[in-house]
Amino acid sequence: MGKDDDVGLLILIIDTNPFIWSKYSNTNKSFTNVMEHLIVFINAYLACRHDNKLAVIASHYNESKFIYPTNDVVNVGPRPANAYQQFWQVDNSLVNSLKQLALSDTMEDKEYGYSMISSSLSLALCYINKIIRLNELESIKPRILVLSVSPDSSVQYIPIMNCIFSAQKANIPIDVCKLFDEETIFLQQATHITNGVFQNVEDSSMLLQYLLFSFLPDRSLKSVMVLPDQEQVDLRASCFCHKKIIDIGYVCSVCLSVFCKYSTSCSTCLTNYSLVNMKGKYSNPSSPNLNK
Amino acid sequence: MLYIANSTINNTSESIQGDVSVFLEKLSDEEFQRLYTQPATCLAIFRLLPDLAKQFIMRLLYIKKEVPLEHIKGWCYEQYIDKVNESLRRLYKLHICTKNENDEIRMSTVFQENLNNALIGAGNHTSFGSASTSVDKHKVNIEFLDKHGTEQWEAVLHYMVGANIRKKPSPAVLKLLERSGLMAKKDEDVNDEYKVFNRVDINELQITNKGFQFLLQDVNTQVWAFLIQYLNMVDDLKMDLVEVLNFLFQLGSLQLGADYSVESLTPTQQQMLNDLKHLGIIYQRKRGSKRFYPTRLATSLTSGSMLISKPSTEDSGFIILETNSRLYAYTDSPLQISVLNLFVVLKARFANMVVGMITRDSIRSALNHGITADQIITYLRTHAHPEMKKNMPILPLTVVDQIRLWEMERNRLKDEKSYLYHEFARAEDFQEVLNYAKQFDIVIWSNIRKRMLVVTTEGHSKVRAYIKKRIGSRQSNMHKQQQ
């Protein structure tokens, strides 16, 4: 249980993949609509405690970058007297960075690219580590929230899993808010393993309510408040050789790498399997245990 | 057997009130709804609430109709029902939510609208302070404001401890000090002619026990304690309480280092500017200036502790406490030294530090001033040197325990009203009464050899009736005596 003087640190990862968002550009699920909801949520989070910390990472199709805080000085003119200083500053910085991100997309990049979720998670974990080390005297309770719109890229399976296990070890919950009905089994696993919240938003005109209900309570309240739970978790893995998501496969007995096809040596740890014991004994591919 | 010292402690510690939410609960519904027309106030009050209540507010913020109480209880696990009720009680008290006869919760629409305005920055209320439009020719930076705020505030505290008074606080501040009971007139017998000529003579005021406790609080609590006293005086000053509160909450939302325009303030609030200036809460270059700067005292009003918001290390902690009760304080501030002097025997003083010992006598003298062990320990902990803060626990346990023991030492005696029975003529009589009394567990003390028995007040009637019954059959010389 957290104490009252725990400072929250929220790392928000926004999936900004333009290939997905462009599909919804003229509906009420458009990027700007969703961002409006998200910004109110960010303000609500900052309102909860004056010292709540925030970082926002854009997970784009070709890069991941921090969009808040940034080093760019944004000049947006004087603050209107109706806006709270902190909200005004964060919101403007965010909107400005998102604009720049959109403008930097060149027309040549027509080929579909997956969102860089794994690198965003790594960035988030590094940032959390840095902040905790910088503020040794305060007790900071970090968490990560991913706003996910794009499907899994099985190429990123290994780095994503590494991030998940690092987060688990560092006791950092990863929450996921899934917006469109794309398949995201890796992120489901992330919430399952790190004890986070997974929320599938069915009606995105109500996104703000979903966000306030499921993702606003900070870590100390997670044991008090009833938060959405996953009924079923898809724990399938992706193979290391062809990056396919598989139900049944071969597992290296030494390094536990997963393969969809049988081979004589492990491509990850270079172990040569002695085939003598293998032949005839194990015909069932679901038990490729090579131990004697 | 009566021990009085305790009662004074209890009275004084209750009255140092650094929590504005307790003050707020006294307001009427109409006043609350007027308060909530300012988004800055909504935000500030929202931040004062317990974590769970904040979540409730956020969940209810966009629901424009009644919500059954059962639903809200269903948001939390059953074993935390106490916490839920406590949070809801706070919301009722602050008139943010109301419960109707069908057990349905409804949020105040004014609050709903204006907290939303605060979140989205809408409306036309200028409650977050309108920045000056022109550029200040005499612009001041944050360091200056910090210095100014600290100096002004410490001048008041200096005055309280009587450490070399450089500047006498303004009459308004003196009045506050007296009204809040932090300082009192030294002697009521001062002759009257003298008073007429010097209405607020500095020598007349002397720090009280409550004042000593006040000194050990963190700055934020001190400032609030002062402001709450100010709020209590608002009626005398013919000011509108709601406007005053709104302005205080607005101050808490301002940005340090920015200058704000005086023009958008109401006349009441402009009058407040003058009063707050003397406490170092705001800075105005000269009287009647069209702009003002909030200092850190103001901007941290609604954001909790000063120490967190202050990045510099020099102020955050300076005390090193060793397990042998020796204390090193890296400070040259006469104020801090005189505060330490309340419960430490200072042995040596150097240019940048003082060395002292915590002894039984020094702690006892502090306790006699009405300071509690907890206050001393909290003070030591919050002002611990950054090197000390790396330890877990921060303060050496031996010393902390010893301070607590010294406090408990004074509470060895507990007073309780009771009745003493003695001079029983025969041992059998005594034994029978004692046995009877023991059945009801009302014996506080008894001595068989001296034939004395002490029972509680509740048990007195029983024992008396029993003895009377026995006297009816046999003459007995019993005396009872109330003590």
Q: Do the Cβ atoms of B254 and A224 come within 8 Å? A: no
A213 to chain B, any CB pair closer than 8 A? The answer is yes
> Looking at the structure, do residues A56 and A155 belong to the same domain, yes or no?
yes
> Is this prediction's ipTM beyond 0.85?
no
B59-82, pLDDT tens digit by residue?
998 888 888 888 888 888 888 888
Question: Which residues face A140 on adjacent strands?
Answer: A7
B120 to chain A, any CB pair closer than 8 A? The answer is yes
Point out the domain boundary residue: B374, B394, B410.
Answer: B410
> Looking at the structure, do residues A119 and A217 belong to the same domain, yes or no?
yes
Give chain A's domain count: 2
* Residue A259: C-alpha distances to residues A151, A185, A239, A249, B85 (Å): 22, 18, 5, 6, 54
Whether residue B284 contacts residue B136, with contact meaning beta carbons closer than 8 Å, is answered with: no
**Separation of alpha carbons B169 and A163, rounded Å:** 59
> Looking at the structure, do residues A34 and A101 belong to the same domain, yes or no?
yes
Burial class of residue A95 in the structure, from the number of CB atoms within 10 Å of its CB (0-12 exposed, 13-18 middle, 19+ buried): middle
How many CB atoms are closer than 10 A to CB B135? Answer: 7
CATH number of A166's domain: 3.40.50.410
A77 to chain B, any CB pair closer than 8 A? The answer is no
Angle between helices B209-216 and B373-382 (to 10 degrees): 30
If phi > 0 it is left, if psi is from -120 to 50 it is alpha, else beta; for residue B221 that is alpha
B151-188, pLDDT tens digit by residue?
888 888 878 776 555 567 777 777 788 777 777 775 54
> Looking at the structure, do residues B406 and B422 belong to the same domain, yes or no?
no
- What are the start-end ranges of the E strands in B370-470? 418-422, 443-447, 452-456
> Looking at the structure, do residues B259 and B344 belong to the same domain, yes or no?
no
Question: Which residue does chain A place closest to B299, by CA atoms?
Answer: A50
Residue A68 belongs to some domain of the structure:
yes
Residue B3 belongs to some domain of the structure:
no
Question: Which residue does chain A place closest to B135, by CA atoms?
Answer: A78
Q: Quick one: pLDDT at residue B483?
A: 45
Whether residue B306 contacts residue B221, with contact meaning beta carbons closer than 8 Å, is answered with: no
Cis peptide before B393 (omega within 30 of 0): yes
CATH number of B49's domain: 1.10.10
**Bridge-based pairing state of the strands A53-59 and A7-15:** parallel
**Comparing C-alpha atoms, which of A79, A93, A43 is closest to residue B126?**
A79
Give the helix/strand (H/E) hosting B274.
Answer: helix B267-279
Rounded to the nearest angstrom, the gap between the alpha carbon of residue B430 and the centroid of all alpha carbons in its chain is 52
Question: Which residue does chain B place closest to A208, by CA atoms?
Answer: B62
B427 to chain A, any CB pair closer than 8 A? The answer is no
> Looking at the structure, do residues A119 and A13 belong to the same domain, yes or no?
yes
Residue span of the structural domain in which B109 resides: 39-120
Q: Which of B76, B122, B258 sits opposite A224 (nearest CB)?
A: B76
**Separation of alpha carbons B33 and B110, rounded Å:** 7
pTM: 0.75
pLDDT(A51) > 70? yes
Q: Which of B43, B55, B128 sits opposite A82 (nearest CB)?
A: B128
> Looking at the structure, do residues B152 and B287 belong to the same domain, yes or no?
yes
CATH number of B468's domain: 3.30.70.2610
Residue A287 belongs to some domain of the structure:
no
> Looking at the structure, do residues A142 and A47 belong to the same domain, yes or no?
yes
Q: At residue B381, what is the residue type?
A: R
Whether residue B340 contacts residue B328, with contact meaning beta carbons closer than 8 Å, is answered with: no
Q: Quick one: pLDDT at residue B10?
A: 34
Question: Which residue does chain A place closest to B43, by CA atoms?
Answer: A47
Please give, rounded to a whole number of angstroms, the shortest distance from the CA of A208 to a CA of chain B. Answer: 9
pLDDT-derived band at A122 (thresholds 50, 70, 90) equals: very high
Q: Which of residues 314-343 of B touch A (CB under 8 A)?
A: none
A139-194, pLDDT tens digit by residue?
888 999 999 888 888 788 888 989 999 999 999 999 999 888 777 888 888 888 88
Point out the domain boundary residue: B410, B444, B462.
Answer: B410
Residue B28 belongs to some domain of the structure:
no
> Looking at the structure, do residues A40 and A171 belong to the same domain, yes or no?
yes
Let me know how many helices (H) and strands (E) chain B has, helices first: 25, 16
**Mutate: best of B46, B115, B119, partner A, most A CBs <10 A:** B119
> Looking at the structure, do residues B147 and B279 belong to the same domain, yes or no?
yes
| Token duo for residue B152 | 């002004």
> Looking at the structure, do residues A270 and A190 belong to the same domain, yes or no?
no
Residue span of the structural domain in which A258 resides: 236-279
> Looking at the structure, do residues A97 and A211 belong to the same domain, yes or no?
yes
Whether residue B300 contacts residue B220, with contact meaning beta carbons closer than 8 Å, is answered with: yes
Rounded to the nearest angstrom, the gap between the alpha carbon of residue A219 and the centroid of all alpha carbons in its chain is 17
**Separation of alpha carbons A167 and B93, rounded Å:** 41
Q: Quick one: pLDDT at residue A42?
A: 92
B122 to chain A, any CB pair closer than 8 A? The answer is yes
How many CB atoms are closer than 10 A to CB A92? Answer: 16
> Looking at the structure, do residues A178 and A113 belong to the same domain, yes or no?
yes
For residues A51-56, average pLDDT: 88
| Token duo for residue B299 | 């901007």
> Looking at the structure, do residues B207 and B223 belong to the same domain, yes or no?
yes
Q: Quick one: pLDDT at residue A78?
A: 67
Point out the domain boundary residue: B392, B410, B428.
Answer: B410
**Separation of alpha carbons A96 and B160, rounded Å:** 51
Q: Quick one: pLDDT at residue A284?
A: 52
On chain B, the residues whose CB falls within 8 A of the CB of A48 are 47, 51, 54, 58
Q: Quick one: pLDDT at residue A290?
A: 44
The sign of the dihedral angle between the CA atoms of B336, B341, B344, B348 is: positive
State which residues of chain B have pLDDT below 50: 1-15, 188-202, 305-314, 476-478, 480-483
- What DSSP assignment string belongs to chain A? ---TTPEEEEEEEEE--HHHHGGGTTSTT-HHHHHHHHHHHHHHHHHH-TT-EEEEEEE-SS-EEEEES-SPPP---SPPTTS-HHHHHHHHHHHHHHHHHHHH--TT--S-----HHHHHHHHHHHHHHHHHHTTTS-EEEEEEEEE-SPP-GGGHHHHHHHHHHHHHTT--EEEEE-SS---HHHHHHHHHHT--EEE-S-GGGHHHHHHHHTSS-GGGTTTB-----S-----EE-TTT--EESS-EE-TTT--EESS--SB-TTT-PBPPSTTTTTT---TT------
Q: Which of residues 373-402 of B touch A (CB under 8 A)?
A: 386, 389-390
